Structure 1
């Protein structure tokens, strides 16, 4: 059984943020919508037993932190942004791993497409 199968999963999907990320000047100036999906691996047993928010990840606070991570300090690549978001998720010691998907539906591509998305998975042990 892998680590991802051995723990519970908490998902928060479709977090809408407005950021100024991208390699082109107009992306930095004008900004665009980014959508973020989070899947966190954690043991929810203690929270289920106590029925106390302090025994689990407060996803309301986490979403606020993720929005701040996206909406501040522009970067060129969604790879860098996804890594930043994963680090925010792993700040809570109960989170064993975080799967982060960053969607950039308005990416500057000269073609008809529905989305550009990058998914990364990071664990507490990852050195990055």
Structure 2
């Protein structure tokens, strides 16, 4: 299995448990590692045989913008489900960062792994 990755995708979403957090869409960062068989794309050199990461990034941006989660874990799970809606992606390692969540920390977030076997 091969890996396609996307790192540092900026998202905006209403997220948090406190009223002040929910007053505006917060800036988040997303890192993905996708388990994919890239053999067909390598042989054909055709985007139709590859994971279109630009289209996936747009889909994830829309999913985050439409979400209204309290917990970063819930949003991460929704984003993973969006990734796995693409049958060619066997699994995803997803890290969702919430910069500025704790003033004394440089970063806060959650890392999850999901696979097609777990998808509904």
When normalised by structure 2's length, the TM-score is: 0.95
**Structure showing the higher strand proportion among its residues:** 2
Runs of 4+ in 1 over 3 A off after TM superposition: none
CA 1:127–1:49 in 2, change beyond 3 Å: closer, same or farther?
closer
> Which runs of no fewer than 5 residues in structure 2 stay unpaired?
none
Residue pair 1:32, 1:106 contacting (<8 A) in 2 also = no
Aligned equivalents of 1:76, 1:19: Cα separation in 2? 10
1:113 aligns with 2:113: no
- Measure how far apart 1:32 and its partner are: 1.6
Question: Alpha-carbon deviations, 1:30-66, whole Å to 9, x = none?
Answer: 2321000111000000000000000011000000011
Alignment RMSD (CA, Å) = 1.1
When normalised by structure 1's length, the TM-score is: 0.89
Aligned equivalents of 1:120, 1:87: Cα separation in 2? 11
1:75 aligns with 2:75: no
State how 1:1-128 maps to structure 2 within 5 Å.
7-107=1-101, 109=102, 111-127=103-119
Q: How many residues end up aligned between the 2 structures?
A: 120
The SS at the match of 1:96 is: strand
